[in-house]
Amino acid sequence: MKIIRSVKEMQSYAVQQRAQGKTIGLVPTMGFLHQGHLSLLTQIRPKCDFLIVSIFVNPLQFGPAEDYDKYPRDIIRDEKLLSDSSCDILFYPAIDEMYPQGYATYIDVEKLSDKLCGKSRPGHFRGVVTVVAKLFTITQCNIACFGQKDGQQAAIIKKMTQDLNLPVEIVIAPIMREKDGLAMSSRNVYLIGEERQNALCLKKSLDMAANMVKEGKTDTRIIIRNMRKFIELVEGAKIDYIEAVDPDTLEAKTTVEGPTMFALAVFIGRTRLLDNRIITN
Amino acid sequence: MKIIRSVKEMQSYAVQQRAQGKTIGLVPTMGFLHQGHLSLLTQIRPKCDFLIVSIFVNPLQFGPAEDYDKYPRDIIRDEKLLSDSSCDILFYPAIDEMYPQGYATYIDVEKLSDKLCGKSRPGHFRGVVTVVAKLFTITQCNIACFGQKDGQQAAIIKKMTQDLNLPVEIVIAPIMREKDGLAMSSRNVYLIGEERQNALCLKKSLDMAANMVKEGKTDTRIIIRNMRKFIELVEGAKIDYIEAVDPDTLEAKTTVEGPTMFALAVFIGRTRLLDNRIITN
């Protein structure tokens, strides 16, 4: 596995490969890799002549009061995991490679970015979309893979790619879970003691929603009210939001007709966790 | 010359060409072509395996009170001019090809977009930058040419290209002028009767600035005051702005040290005209 830290080197290498008709895959990450990330490689590996994994903790997508500084990092372990995987290139740029002095260009996906997580994290998706577009152009990828765990991010990146005519196929991989059902996330390491167990309430509330739909209930307000009641009983759990939305437009849905994404963000202690499930009646 | 109206067809053709190692040139225009546009083709033709000219009157860059509807158009004449030129492909998309229902993605170059024309045309450069980025990805161009006449646009497009790591070489071609010095512009057809003669005050005021610098005057406030006085004497001329700025950052300069862009926008009757000149002491 080759490690590239320079934007210029990464791009000129990629441009060369593309000019030879090669197919390039990209898995963008913020590092501190887990099985969820590795499943993204597996998803697109068969379609690629070579596969790039980027590791970049993107300051632009963190608010001033958020966890940018303490976001978990372990590049030595990540390098080891990737060199044992099917990754060909680890792209690991420094901040000033990505945002040199005087950087001024930002991409917004309107409407979709203001919903769900966007309400409590203003500017977050502007940061995500901007860095993803940059990673696409730097790596010249034909295909890129993201996890469904960040369901809103997946919808926004698909929308940006379509709107800006980026010639990149976006693959969204299913949520990977720990044995007990907790959605894998780099932030799970923040969970202390009982919090780890309490964090299961996100997944359990989604299962509850799926069961209600299976029983014929389609009023999302009633389903969400039940999820909310369930989570409010869990020690140290504080709901940021629970919503039922169209998985592409993220518009709120009052009834479960066609694919409906139940998405939630819940603080367990001081750790904000996400989960979602697309449920069809 | 081939004419392509579909975004999908244009992009898949371009992707094929790039995979064969071909070099693609792009000249983005809003049509109603003049010698200024044609000089852009000449500038980059030698560097390209094939050359695309786009014609698209971009609604996104016009304010609600601006001249989008009456912006001059003559596609028959443009087609004729281009087929007599070195253009290989005319890309001429419809509005809903470029901005389908639900379009939501916008690119901003901060700071640079708020200055000069940005003050009186809020949102204008957001529209320009967004459509240019889309044209770059649709045509997969390696090189693109813009005119120095829109000096602020040139600076902003260079900045966007650099910030988003777009693998496109930006060439800025010198201002083309009518025999009497008027900067070529599609909007010159708006000038009626005496206005055509009065419009020369833009170029003359820039020559005046160059002469003052040649005489050793470097205080931009004094130079601008003289330009302003001169233009104010012209019948029907109303100054929008006259500024002296760094040609790359567009930051105001108080003295002419190194390349200094004197840029102005002046209404001649109801027609808003631009001109600029980069002057070095």
What value does the CA radius of gyration of chain B take, rounded to a whole number of Å?
A: 19
Mean pLDDT over A83-96 rounds to 98
At residue B267, the pLDDT reads 98
Q: Which of A109, A137, A163 faces B166 most closely, judged by CB atoms?
A: A137
- State residue A111's pLDDT score: 96
Q: Could you give the number of structural domains in chain B?
A: 2
* Catalytic choice (B24, B28, B33, B37): B37
A270 falls in which pLDDT band (50, 70, 90)? very high
Residues B16 and B134 in one domain: yes
Percent of chain A with pLDDT over 90: 98
Question: Rounded to whole angstroms, how far apart are CA atoms A82 and A100?
Answer: 27
**Cβ(B141)–Cβ(B26) below 8 Å:** yes
In a domain, B180, yes or no: no
Backbone angles phi, psi at A108, to 5 degrees: -120, 135
From residue A70, give the alpha-carbon distance in Å to each of A67, A140, A194. Answer: 5, 31, 21
> Which pLDDT belongs to residue B28?
98
Residues B198 and B147 in one domain: no
Sign of CA dihedral A222, A281, A155, A160: negative
A106 to B108: CB separation less than 8 angstroms, yes or no: yes
Express as a percent the part of chain B with pLDDT over 90.
Answer: 98
B120 and B210 housed in the same domain: no
B32-56 pLDDT, tens digit per residue, is: 999 999 999 999 999 999 999 999 9
Mean pLDDT of chain A: 97
Of A173, A107, A176, the C-alpha closest to A146 is A173
Residues B37, B149, single domain; the answer is yes
Residue A277 has pLDDT above 90, yes or no: yes
Enumerate the residues of chain B whose CB falls inside 8 A of the CB of residue A165. Answer: 7, 11, 134, 137-138
Residue A281 has pLDDT above 90, yes or no: no
pLDDT recorded at residue B194: 97
Annotation marks residue A37 as catalytic: yes
Residue B198: give its domain's CATH number.
Answer: 3.30.1300.10
Q: How far is A203 from chain B (nearest CA, A)?
A: 31
Greatest CA separation found in chain B? 59
DSSP A18-78: HHTT--EEEEEE-SS--HHHHHHHHHHGGG-SEEEEEE---GGGS-TTSSTTTS---HHHH
For residue B164, the enclosing domain spans 2-173
Q: Which of A179, A157, A180, A177 is nearest to A169 (CA)?
A: A157
Nearest to A165 among B106, B110, B138 (CB): B138
Q: Give the model confidence (pLDDT) of A219-238 as tens digits.
A: 999 999 999 999 999 999 99
Residue A81 is predicted with a pLDDT of 98
Tell whether pTM > 0.95.
yes
pLDDT in tens, A9-59: 999 999 999 888 899 999 999 999 999 999 999 999 999 999 999 999 999
How many angstroms away from the CA of A29 is the closest CA of chain B?
Answer: 18
Q: What is the pLDDT of residue A207?
A: 98
pLDDT digits (tens, 9 = 90+) for B49-108: 999 999 999 999 999 999 999 999 999 999 999 999 999 999 999 999 999 999 999 999
Last residue of a domain, one of B173, B195, B212: B173
A105 pLDDT band, cuts 50/70/90, is: very high
User: Residues near B249 by Cβ (< 8 Å), separated by ≥ 6?
Assistant: A102, B112, B155
Nearest chain A Cα distance for residue B268, angstroms = 33
- Work out the pLDDT band at B19, boundaries 50, 70, 90: confident
Q: pLDDT tens for residues A131-147?
A: 999 999 999 999 999 99
| Residue B227, pLDDT score | 98
pLDDT of residue A88: 98
Residue A180 lies in a domain: no
Residue B60: per-residue pLDDT: 97
Q: What is the mean pLDDT of residues B169-195?
A: 97
Name A212's Cβ contacts closer than 8 Å, sequence gap at least 6.
A222, A223, A226
HSE toward the beta carbon, residue A147, CA cutoff 13 A = 25
Q: Domain holding B88: CATH number?
A: 3.40.50.620
Label the pairing between strands B50-55 and B24-29. parallel
Tens digits of residue pLDDT in B216-269: 999 999 999 999 999 999 999 999 999 999 999 999 999 999 999 999 999 999
Cβ-count burial A38-62 (b if 16+ within 10 Å, e if not): bbbbebbbeebebbbbbbbbbebbb
Of B173, B208, B227, the position where a domain reaches its end is B173
A72 assigned to some structural domain: yes
Q: Which pLDDT score is estimated for B281? A: 86
Domain C-terminal end among A173, A198, A221: A173
Query: What ipTM is given for this predicted complex?
Result: 0.96
Query: Looking at the structure, do residues B194 and B169 belong to the same domain, yes or no?
Result: no
Inter-chain residue contact A15 with B167, CB threshold 8 Å: yes
Q: What is the Cα B130 distance to its own chain's centre?
A: 14
One domain, residues A34 and A164: yes
Q: State the average pLDDT for chain B.
A: 97
Q: Is residue A220 part of a domain?
A: yes
